[in-house]
Structure 1
Amino acid sequence: MIYILSAILFSAGQIIAGWVFFALSSVILIFNYIFIKSELLKLENMVKTAKEKDFTPKYVYPGLSEFNRLGIATSELIESLGKLREIRRLREQEFITILNAMDMPVFIVDQEGRLIVHNKASKSFMRIAQDEPSVKYYYEILRYEELIAFIKEAIVSESQREEKLEIEDSVFEAISFPFISRSEKFTLFLLEDVTVIERVAKMEREFISSVSHELRTPISVIKGALEIIESEKLIKKNGEKFLSAIKENSERMENLVSDLAKFNELEVWKKPLEQEIDFSSTVKRIYETFLQSAKGKNLDFKLNCEEGVFIKGDLFLIEELIRNLVNNAIRYTESGSVELAVYVNVFATLQVKDTGPGIPERDISYLFEPFFRVENSRSRVGGGSGLGLAISKRIIDLHKGKISVESKIGEGSKFTVQLILLRKIN
C-alpha cells in the first residue's frame, strides 16, 4: 500500500513539475514576445520618423542586448543619412544659386517633358510667375515652335545638340546636354542670346560681299588690258618681267576676292545637301586635273582609290574641298610626293599626304581659322588667300564630317577627311 501511495505521489509530482515548467516557459515566451515587439516598435518608429525627414531620434535602451546594439547602429545610420541629406540640400542650394546668377535661361527637363529645374532667367523667358509650382511640362509653357521642336529632338536623341534659333526678334544659340542622375535620364538646356553677335557677323558678311563686288570690276579691267597688251605685243622684251608680275598679282587679287565670296556664301549656306555623289569618281576626276601641275614640279603624284564609295551632299562643295586640299599639297611640296587615298573605315575617308615642309605643332589648332598663316617656309610659298582651309573646314562642317591633321617639320603633312558614308558598292 505504501509503495502504491509513493508511486502515486511521485507521478503527481512529475505532473505538477511539468505544469510548472510549462507555465514558466509560457511566461518567458510571453515576456520575450512583449520585449521583442516593443524593441521592433522602437526601430519601426525610428524608420518612420526618418522617412518623414526627421533624422534626430535616438534609440535608448539600458543594457547590452542584441537589440540595443542593433538600435544604436540604426540610430547612427539614420544620423549619417541626415548629414548626407543636409550636404545634398546645401549643394542643391549652391547649384540653384549659381543658376539664378546666370543671365541666360537654363533649365532641366526629364524624359516625360517635365521642367524639373529652371533659373530666374528661364522663368522670365517662359513668363512663369515666381510663385508658380516648379513641375510643369515644357510644351504647355513655351510658345515658340522652333524651341519646342529642338527640346523634343534633344530628349529623343539623348545626345548633345547645338542649334541657332530665331525667336521673335532675337537669335539664340540653343545647347542641350543629356545626363543621368539616380538612374533617371534628364537633359539640361542653355539658351544664349547671340543677337548682337549675329548682327555683327551679318555686317561682316555684307562688308565682304560689298568689297568682293567692288574689287572684281577693276581686276577684270586690269586683266583684260594685260591680255590685249600681250596679244598685240605692245611691250618691249625688257618689260615682260614687269608685265608678268602685274598679271600674277592681279590673278592673286582675283583669287582672294573669289575666296572671300565663297567664304561669305558658306557662312549663310542654306541649300539642301541631298545630292548622291560618287565620291570615288569625283576624287579621280580632280586628281587628273592636277596631274600637269604635279608633273611640272617633278612630284610623284599617286592615287589609291577604292571604287564605289558614295556620299550625300553638294557636289560643287565637295569638289571645292578636294581641290583645296590637293592644291595646298602640291603648292607647298617642292620635292618628293603627294598621295591621295579614298577608302571606307565606317566613314567615307579622303586622305591627302605630302612631303612638304610640315606644320609646327603649335599652329595645327589654328590652321582652319580665316587668314591664318603658318610661320615657316610654307607661308612664303605660292601666295594664297589664307582662306582655303577655312573654306574646307566649313564645307566639312556643313556635311557633318570631321578633319584631322598630322604633321612633322621637315617630313610633311597628312590631312584626313571623314564624311558620312551613304553606301559602298563592291
Structure 2
Amino acid sequence: MHNECGAFGMSNANKLATLQHELEQLRKENAHLRTELDNLRKKQSPTSLNTLTQFQDLLRSLPVLFFVCDPQCRCLLWNEACHELLGWTEEELKSHPKPLTLLYPDIMDYQAVQMRLEQAERRFYRCLVRSQSGAYRLQKWAYCRLPDGNILGIGYDIAEMDRPATDIVAADLEETRVQLLQQLIGDITHDLKTPLSIINTKVFLLEREPDASRRQIHATAIIEQVRRLTELIDNMMEMVRLDSQTNLKLERCNVHTLLLEIDEGLRNMAEEKRVGINLELNADNPYVRADPKELHRAFMNLIRNAISYTPENGSITVRTRSVNAHLVIMVEDTGIGISEDDIPHIFTRFFRADTARSSYTGGSGLGLSIVKRIIDMHHGEIDVQSAVGIGTTFTIKLASVYRHANAAD
C-alpha cells in the first residue's frame, strides 16, 4: 500500500496543482458569467444567452470530473467525464432528491462529504465513490462555494477498489472525524461560555445586593440562563442520538394529527408572545410512512423556532397540501426573516444567522439541524424561503402512503 501511494505521489503532484489552479479559474469564470447573465437577461439578448449555454456545454465536456450542486446538495450539473467513469447520468442525479446517497451509500462517507460540501474548502480529499455498477472508485475531490450559494466540485480518478472500506481512505475518514470533534468542542465552548459568564456575574451581584426586588431580578436572570444551558445540552444529546440512530420505527402516520397535537402543546408559548398560530390542513391525504415520535420532534422544533423569531402580534400559518404522491407541509411566519447570505448555512450545526437573529432568542443553534436530520432520515426534502423584515417559510415534502395501507408495507 505504501509503495502504491509513493508511486502515485510524484506522478500526480503536478496534476493536483493543475486541478487546483483550474478550480480557482472556473470559480472566477462562473462568478463573472453569472454577473453577465443577470445583465443579459435584462437585455433579453438571445445571442448572449447562447454564449452561456455554450459555456455550460463546455463544462459538461471537461476531461476532469466536474459537478455543481445547490446548498441542499441537489445536482445541477454533472459532466460527461463523471458519467463515463461512474455510470450515473446527469438526468438520473437531477431527478433524485438525495443524489449523494447514490454515490456514498455508507453513512459515515455520506456525512463526511456533506461536511466538506458545507465547508467548501479548496482542498482535495480522498474518498470512495460508488459507481452505478456497484463498484467503488478511489477519487480526489475539492469544493468551493460560488457567489450564488451553489457548490462547485472538481476531482480526478485514482483507481477502482475491490471493496468499499480500504486502508487508503482510513486516514482521511479519521481526519474528518477529528475535524468534526474539534468543531463540536469549539462550538460547545462558545455556546456554554455566554450563559456561564452571565450566571457568574449575576451570582456575584446577588450575593452583594441588599434590595429584595433587585435580588429577585438577578435570580430570574440566573434561572433563564440555566434554562438556556439545559436546552443546549438536551439538543446536543438529541443530535448525538440521531447521528447514531440507523433504524426508524416506521408506521403509517397521520401528519394532521401530529400538527394538531403540536398546536395544542405550543399554544401557551405562542400566547405569551402574542403570536397567532393558524392551521390550514388541506391535504387530501395526510398519511406518510414515518416514525411518529421523530416526525413530531421535527415539526415541534420547526414551529417553536417560528414562534421564537416572530415578534409580538405576528402570526404563524401551518399549511398542508397533497402534490402528486407527496405531502407538502409549509410553516410560514411573519418574523424577522433570514438574510440571503445566511440561508445556505441555517441547517449547519450551531449556526445562528446574523447577530440580530441570534440575540433575538439566544437559541442553541441546533434546532434546525435536528429538523433537517430527521427529514433526511425519512428521505424527505426541506427548503426555505425568507426575506428580512417580512418572514420565513419552511417547506417539507414527504412521500405519501395510502390512507388504509398496512404499517408494515
Give the structure-2-normalised TM-score. Answer: 0.53
Q: Aligned partners of 1:338 and 1:262: how far apart in 2?
A: 26
Alignment partner for residue 261 of structure 2, among 243, 262, 285?
Answer: 285
Measured after TM superposition, the shift of residue 197 of structure 1 is 4.4
Q: Aligned partners of 2:85 and 2:336: how far apart in 1?
A: 54
Q: Aligned partners of 2:172 and 2:247: how far apart in 1?
A: 23
Matched, 1:275 2:259: no
Measured after TM superposition, the shift of residue 273 of structure 1 is 4.7
* Matched residue type, 2:307: I
Matched, 1:196 2:189: no
Q: Aligned partners of 2:347 and 2:252: how far apart in 1?
A: 27
Q: Aligned partners of 1:236 and 1:109: how far apart in 2?
A: 71
Matched, 1:415 2:394: yes
Match of 1:321 in 2: 298
Deviations along 1:277-311, whole A, 9 cap, x unmatched?
Answer: 22110111111111111112222210111465111
Decide whether the 8 Å contact of 1:357 with 1:411 is kept in 2: yes
Decide whether the 8 Å contact of 1:109 with 1:188 is kept in 2: no
Q: Aligned partners of 1:385 and 1:375: how far apart in 2?
A: 14
Matched, 1:336 2:336: no
Secondary structure of the structure 1 residue equivalent to 2:361:
coil
Decide whether the 8 Å contact of 1:343 with 1:350 is kept in 2: yes
Decide whether the 8 Å contact of 2:309 with 2:360 is kept in 1: yes
Decide whether the 8 Å contact of 2:380 with 2:399 is kept in 1: yes
Match of 1:266 in 2: 242
Deviations along 1:170-208, whole A, 9 cap, x unmatched?
Answer: x9643336xxxxxxxx89964456533433454577786
Q: Which has the larger radius of gyration?
A: 1
* Matched residue type, 1:274: L
Decide whether the 8 Å contact of 2:309 with 2:335 is kept in 1: yes
* Matched residue type, 1:252: R
Decide whether the 8 Å contact of 1:165 with 1:174 is kept in 2: no
Distance 1:195 1:166, change over 3 A: farther
Deviations along 1:233-262, whole A, 9 cap, x unmatched?
Answer: xx9433111111111111101111111111
Secondary structure of the structure 1 residue equivalent to 2:402:
strand
Matched, 1:162 2:103: yes
Deviations along 1:136-162, whole A, 9 cap, x unmatched?
Answer: xxxxxxxxxxxxxx99xxx9xx97512
* Matched residue type, 1:296: E
Decide whether the 8 Å contact of 2:338 with 2:386 is kept in 1: yes
* Matched residue type, 2:171: V
Decide whether the 8 Å contact of 1:359 with 1:407 is kept in 2: yes
Match of 1:245 in 2: 221
* Matched residue type, 1:305: L
Matched ranges for 1:13-28 at <5 A: none
Q: Aligned partners of 1:333 and 1:381: how far apart in 2?
A: 10
* Matched residue type, 1:329: A
Match of 2:286 in 1: 309
Decide whether the 8 Å contact of 2:320 with 2:329 is kept in 1: yes
Distance 1:407 1:285, change over 3 A: same
Decide whether the 8 Å contact of 1:205 with 1:264 is kept in 2: no
* Matched residue type, 1:238: R
Q: Aligned partners of 2:341 and 2:403: how far apart in 1?
A: 37
Distance 1:278 1:242, change over 3 A: same
Decide whether the 8 Å contact of 1:280 with 1:309 is kept in 2: yes
Match of 1:397 in 2: 376
Measured after TM superposition, the shift of residue 276 of structure 1 is 2.3
Q: Which consecutive unaligned segments of at least 5 residues does structure 1 have? A: 1-93, 100-107, 111-115, 119-149, 178-185, 224-234
Distance 1:384 1:191, change over 3 A: same
Measured after TM superposition, the shift of residue 423 of structure 1 is 2.6
Matched ranges for 1:197-236 at <5 A: 197-200=172-175, 202=177, 236=212
Give the structure-1-normalised TM-score. Answer: 0.51
Distance 1:375 1:165, change over 3 A: closer
Decide whether the 8 Å contact of 2:385 with 2:392 is kept in 1: yes
Aligned residues: 260
Matched ranges for 1:318-397 at <5 A: 318-334=295-311, 335-346=313-324, 347-397=326-376
Deviations along 1:64-109, whole A, 9 cap, x unmatched?
Answer: xxxxxxxxxxxxxxxxxxxxxxxxxxxxxx96xx69xxxxxxxx99
Q: Percent same amino acid at aligned positions?
A: 25
Secondary structure of the structure 1 residue equivalent to 2:385:
strand
- Is 338-347 or 271-280 further displaced after alignment? 271-280
Measured after TM superposition, the shift of residue 418 of structure 1 is 0.6
Alignment partner for residue 174 of structure 1, among 126, 129, 139?
Answer: 129
Q: Aligned partners of 1:166 and 1:287: how far apart in 2?
A: 34
Measured after TM superposition, the shift of residue 331 of structure 1 is 0.6
Compute the RMSD of aligned alpha carbons.
4.5
The one of the two structures with greater contact order (alpha-carbon pairs below 8 A, sep at least 6) is 2
Decide whether the 8 Å contact of 1:300 with 1:337 is kept in 2: yes
* Matched residue type, 1:163: Y
Measured after TM superposition, the shift of residue 376 of structure 1 is 5.0
Decide whether the 8 Å contact of 2:276 with 2:314 is kept in 1: yes
Deviations along 1:93-143, whole A, 9 cap, x unmatched?
Answer: x96xx69xxxxxxxx999xxxxx979xxxxxxxxxxxxxxxxxxxxxxxxx
